[in-house]
A and B are shown apart, each in its own frame.
Chain A
């Protein structure tokens, strides 16, 4: 078994695992900070204690924004296998599908500014947030 012979479902799960390993530690650390703040009254997120409420959103969305791909990528892999199986054809563009699964996973992280695009007109003032987001959306159409 080589990389080019791995089934597409395995490729999709590989991309999913990359997101899980890159993103999940951040949400775990965020929740530890939240617990520390509530138990020991450290000023991390609560502005009344001197914390920054936006910091929570930054950390939260670092995980939650790519997290949608944890849900959709395995489904895409399953569909690639099912359609190829029931139509009794080899999958079209195997290499393209496999590599784009990984590209979806990796390219999601530079586009992390996207959640802030919804809040006010940040998009117009922050090309560093907007450009990776638009590149991702334009390439993968979501």
Chain B
């Protein structure tokens, strides 16, 4: 299993799409975690 292009196109197993979507959802999880931390730290450091 490899996302690098020659392996993910010509020589790939058929599960590239499923795995790609899984990592995509994981990516959103990371983005929202990061946003949550940034906002929380800003609000803790300088409360209203």
Contact = CB atoms under 8 A, between A and B. Distances in A.
Interface of A: 1-3, 6, 10, 13-14, 16-21, 24-25, 27-28, 30-32, 34-35, 37-39, 45-46, 48, 51, 53, 56-57, 60
Which bucket holds chain B's interface residue count? 20 to 34
Contacts of A31: 3, 20-21, 23-24, 27
A3, A20, A48 — most chain B CB neighbours (10 Å): A20
B3, B34, B44 — most chain A CB neighbours (10 Å): B34
Contacts of B16: 34-35, 38
B6 A32 contact: no
B34 to A, nearest CB: 3
Given A1-B45, A3-B45, A53-B6, A35 B34 contact: no
B31 A25 contact: yes
Contact of A17 (B4, B6, B37, B47): B37
Interface in B15-41: 16-17, 20-21, 23-24, 27-28, 30-31, 33-35, 37-38, 41
A53 B5 contact: yes
A48 B37 CA distance: 43
B27 to A, nearest CB: 4
Nearest to A52: B5
A69 to B, nearest CB: 12
A53 B17 CA distance: 17
B9 A38 contact: yes
A32 B24 contact: yes
Contacts of B37: 13-14, 16-17
A36 to B, nearest CB: 10
B34 A20 contact: yes
A28 B9 contact: no
A38 B5 contact: no
